[in-house]
Amino acid sequence: MTVLMDIYDRLNTFFGDLHWWPGESALEMIVGAILTQNTAWRNVERTLSILKYKGLLSVDTLYRVQENILAENLRPAGYFRIKAQRLKALVAFFQEFYGGSLECMFAEDLSTLRNKLLTVKGVGEETADSILLYAGKKPIFVVDAYTRRILAGHKIIHDRASYSDIQTLFMSQLPEDVPLFNQYHALLVNTGKQFCRRAPNCTDCPLSPLLEQLP
DNA sequence: CACCAGGCAAGTA
DNA sequence: TACTTGCATGGT
């Protein structure tokens, strides 16, 4: 039993199945991945509702809509001009390389696709991996601020560990399993939101027994 | 009022 | 490689 499986079991017992990522379509998950960059999910939900209501939540309409018009509809998500630019760049990438077909894109080799996504301005490692895992059902582990915070807090990694360091740690200790990676990331985010926001002590956090075992 | 939220790119040293 | 700054709205 590895420490990462131990943590998973504790969190999974506490929270149960979380059925992530919220989103009815692959595109909605992808748009959500851009919109949630350094932004509360509540604000992303409001923005996704607007995009749906305005009929803007398709590859084709996003490709055609003017960037400044799109931006005005992204206001609740914050960074609205930057995010409009990023969505346009990503959708242009879908059109150019895959004829606008996400199914075609996700048929590509995982490592090749990841590297290509990372060339799109506005798509960094976490966003690329969220797209691959949640929208594409690919076996890749998503590392985010909560993951780093929780692992560093329990001395499993040091504060300055790189994204790649953390991702490799998870993927070397866990089986390559899409539902497991999905649920694990969801559990870490839920734990962070509920326990590590304003209570550094985390006395009633389901992982608190692990803290007492530290040297 | 201050601070934070499921990042990223561009600039600097 | 590592550090800094701008981006912006809404909740606590």
Residues A18-71: tens digit of each pLDDT: 988 879 999 999 999 999 999 999 999 999 999 999 999 999 999 999 999 999
Q: In 3D, which of A179, A213, A182, A25 has the Cα closest to residue A103?
A: A25
Is residue A56 domain-shared with residue A146, that is, in the same domain? no
**Nearest nucleotide (CA of A81 to C1'):** C7
Range of the domain at A198: 3-19+141-211
- Amino acid A75 CA to nucleotide B2 C1' distance, rounded Å: 22
- Considering the domain architecture, whether residues A122 and A33 belong to the same structural domain is answered as yes
What is the pLDDT of chain A when averaged over all its residues?
94
A23, burial (CB in 10 Å: exposed 0-12, middle 13-18, buried 19+): middle
Distance A72 CA to B6 C1' (A): 23
Radius of gyration of chain A (CA): 18
CATH of the domain at A10: 1.10.1670.10
From the CA of A12 to the C1' of B6: give the distance in Å.
19
d(CA A137, CA A196) in angstroms, rounded, equals 28
Tell which strand C nucleotides have any atom below 7 Å from a protein Cβ. 2-3, 7-11
CB neighbours of A80 closer than 8 A, spacing ≥ 6? A71, A72, A74
Tell me, yes or no, whether A112 and A31 share the same domain: yes
Alpha helices by DSSP H, A54-177? 59-64, 67-73, 80-98, 102-106, 110-117, 125-130, 145-153, 163-173
Which of A103, A135, A167 delimits the end of a domain? A135
A55 and A93: one domain? Answer: yes
Tell me the CA–C1' distance in angstroms for A161 and C11: 30
Q: What is the CATH number of the domain that holds A45?
A: 1.10.340.30
Exposed/middle/buried for residue A55 (C-beta within 10 Å: 0-12, 13-18, 19+): exposed
Residue A199 pLDDT greater than 70, yes or no: no
Do A153 and A62 fall into the same domain? Answer: no
Phi, psi of A177 (to 5 degrees): -135, 115
Indicate the residue among A135, A154, A184 that finishes a domain. A135
Both A121 and A43 in a single domain? yes
How many domains are contained in chain A? 2
User: Minimal CA–CA distance to A86: which of A139, A131, A150, A41?
Assistant: A131
Lowest-confidence segment of A103-117, A140-154, A193-207 by average pLDDT = A193-207
Assess whether A67 and A120 both reside in one domain: yes
**Is there a single domain that holds both residue A111 and residue A61?**
yes
CA dist., res. A215 & res. A82, Å (int)? 45
Report the nearest residue to nucleotide C2, CA vs C1'.
A160
What's the pLDDT tens digit per position in A111-162? 999 999 999 999 999 999 999 999 999 999 999 999 999 999 999 999 889 9
Domain edge (last residue) among A111, A135, A159: A135
